[in-house]
Copies of this chain bind each other. A is one copy, B any other.
Amino acid sequence: MADTIHTVSFDVRDYECDLQGIVNNANYQHYFEHARHLFLRSQGVEFADLAARGANLVVIRVEIDYLFPLRSMDTFNVASTLDRVSRVRIACRQSITRADGRAIANAVVVIATMDASGRPCRLPAEVEAILTRLAP
């Protein structure tokens, strides 16, 4: 993974666990999404503002490798960074690590910018600014 530039800590909540006694697979997308929104916000990117200007950040592909399951009472960190994929796409690379260092899951989330009518458009300036800060 590229240099991590944002990390946030979470606790497993019991309602996130399923019949098998482990966190349900879909909830990892919730963790990754919330961490991504906090990451972008920390870099000055607000979804609501972008949307109001007609530039929506839209997830177009998700890949998740599940290495080891999270359980009730686990505490874990979600680390995130950002790469450019093309003029209209970025990839958010994210990983989950349990508090004791155990690797839990890795994800690549590909995001496109689309205008109000759903057509791809150029990345907004705030997002370009993050990419420049990360890989000048």
Whether A126 is near chain B, meaning CB under 8 Å from some CB there, is no
Give the distance to chain B from A6, nearest Cβ to Cβ, in Å.
15
- Whole-angstrom distance between the alpha carbons of A92 and B58 in the complex? 25
Contacts of A56 in B (CB 8 A): 20
Chain A positions 73-113 with a Cβ under 8 Å from a chain B Cβ: none
Contact status B26-A30, CB under 8 Å: yes
Give the distance to chain B from A78, nearest Cβ to Cβ, in Å.
12
Contacts of A63 in B (CB 8 A): 61-63
In the complex with contacts A59-B66, A60-B66, A15-B26 CB distance below 8 A? yes
Contact status A25-B18, CB under 8 Å: no
- A interface, CB within 8 angstroms of B: 13-15, 17-21, 24-27, 29-30, 33-34, 37, 47-48, 51, 56, 58-67, 72
